[in-house]
Amino acid sequence: MPTVLLIEDEPSLGLIVKDSLESRGFAVQFASDGEAGLQLFRQQCPDIVVADVMMPKLDGFSLAEQIRRENAAVPILFLTARSQPADVVRGFELGGNDYLKKPFSMDELIVRIKAQLSRQPAAAPAPVGPLAIGRYQFDHPKQKLRFGAQEETLTNREAELLKRLYDQRNQVLERNAVLKELWGDDSFFNGRSLDVFITRLRRCLKDDPQVQIVNVRGIGYKLIL
Partner DNA sequence: ATCCTGTGTTAAATAGTGTTAACGAGGCAA
Partner DNA sequence: TTGCCTCGTTAACACTATTTAACACAGGAT
Binding site for a copy of itself (CB under 8 A): 85-86, 88-89, 92-93, 97-99, 105, 107-108, 111-112, 114-115, 119, 121, 141-143, 155-157, 170, 212, 214-217, 222, 224
117's enclosing H/E stretch is helix 106-119
Contact code string over 164-193 relative to DNA, x by CB under 7 A: -----------x-------x-----xxxxx
Work out how close the CB of 156 gets to a copy of itself at its nearest, in angstroms, rounded to a whole number. Answer: 5
Give whichever of 132 and 214 is closer to DNA, judged by the CB atom.
214
Give whichever of 125 and 218 is closer to DNA, judged by the CB atom.
218
Among DNA, a copy of itself, none, the one that 68 touches (CB under a kind-dependent 5 to 8 A) is: none
Among DNA, a copy of itself, none, the one that 151 touches (CB under a kind-dependent 5 to 8 A) is: none
Work out how close the CB of 149 gets to DNA at its nearest, in angstroms, rounded to a whole number. Answer: 21
Angle at 209 (CA atoms; ends 205, 213), nearest 5 degrees: 55
Between residue 139 and residue 158, which ones bind DNA under the rule CB under 7 A?
153, 155-158
d(CA 121, CA 41): 20
d(CA 100, CA 78): 6
Q: 47 in the Ramachandran plot: left (φ > 0), alpha (ψ -120 to 50) or beta?
A: alpha
Count other Cβ atoms within 10 Å, centred on residue 85: 8
Among DNA, a copy of itself, none, the one that 180 touches (CB under a kind-dependent 5 to 8 A) is: none
User: What are the angstrom distances between the C-alpha of 90 and each of 50, 64, 112, 160, 175?
Assistant: 16, 11, 19, 52, 55
d(CA 7, CA 45): 14
Give whichever of 81 and 216 is closer to DNA, judged by the CB atom.
216
Q: Kindly report the three-state secondary structure assignment for every residue of 147-161.
A: ECCEEEECCHHHHHH
Residues that bind DNA (CB under 7 A): 153, 155-158, 175, 183, 189-193, 195-199, 202-203, 215-220
